[in-house]
Each structure stands twice: as structure tokens, then as C-alpha cells.
Amino acid sequence: MYKINDFVIVNDYHVYQVMLVNQFYYTLSSLINPHTINVDSTSIIKRVPSIDNINEVIERIPYIRTLQIENDRFRQEIYQKTIATFDEVDLIKIIKSIYIRKKRKENHSYENKYYQLAKIFSMKKLPPA
């Protein structure tokens, strides 16, 4: 599924580069600390989006709708499920929704956690070339 030199996000939420593909595992090199790890495919959350993909999402930001959820418990559940997808558009929906709720002073304390997580995960991108 992943190829050598692909950049991936692993379940420790760090970005790694695929160095070796084996039948049973991937050898990944950390971009932060000079070390490698071996993981199976279930430990890899997703491939880091390409620069073209990131630019496309950035262009779409003004048109991405916010989440309109009245029930607090349901809103928290949707935030949790959306964060778990690691989809850039979904993360932007959360960021925009909570930002608007903060400006209106309608946000709850639990939303700050999801706001920060969405910002962190949406910034995971390729290192400078």
C-alpha cells in the first residue's frame, strides 16, 4: 500500500518517511529524531497529503461549511469521530465551527481540546523540499 519515500502519519501522530517495505512490516525513519521504527500497516494512520492536495484544500476553505449541531453530546461525538478520520476537509470543518462558536461565546470547554487537535492534525504536511 505504501511505497519507499512516502511520508506517513503513524499512530503516535508523528510524520515518518517509508524507508523499507517488507512483506510483514514497514521500516520508517523519523523526521524529528534520527531513528527508525518497524511497524505493520495497522499502525499507519494515513499517507501525508501531497502539496497539490494541500493547496487544493486551502483554496476550498472559504467554501467548506461548518457543522450545525444543536445537541452538545451529539456535537462532542461528531467531533471525536471527525478527528479520527484525519481528513483535511473534516478537520477544517471542526476548526471553523469551533472558531465561530468561540466568537459567539457559545463554545464549551471540551471544544478547546478538539479545536487544538484539529489544528495540529491539519498541519501535518510534507517537510520542506
Domain membership of residue 70 (yes or no) is yes
Are 32 and 55 members of one domain?
no
* Number of structural domains the chain divides into: 2
Residues 118 and 63 placed together within one structural domain of the fold: yes
Confidence band of 64 (pLDDT split at 50, 70, 90): very high
Contacts of 15 (CB under 8 A, 6+ apart): 7, 8, 9, 31, 32, 48, 124, 127
Within this chain, do residues 88 and 110 fall inside the same structural domain, yes or no?
yes
Q: Which domain holds residue 108?
A: 51-122
pLDDT, greater one: 23 or 63: 63
On whether the pTM is more than 0.75, the answer is: no
Return d(Cα 18, Cα 13) in angstroms, integer. Answer: 15
In a domain? residue 2: no
Listed in sequence order, the residues at least 6 apart from 39 whose beta carbon sits closer than 8 Å to its beta carbon are 10, 25, 26, 28
Same domain as 78, residue 38? no
For 14-27, write each residue's pLDDT tens digit: 889 999 998 889 99
92 domain-assigned? yes
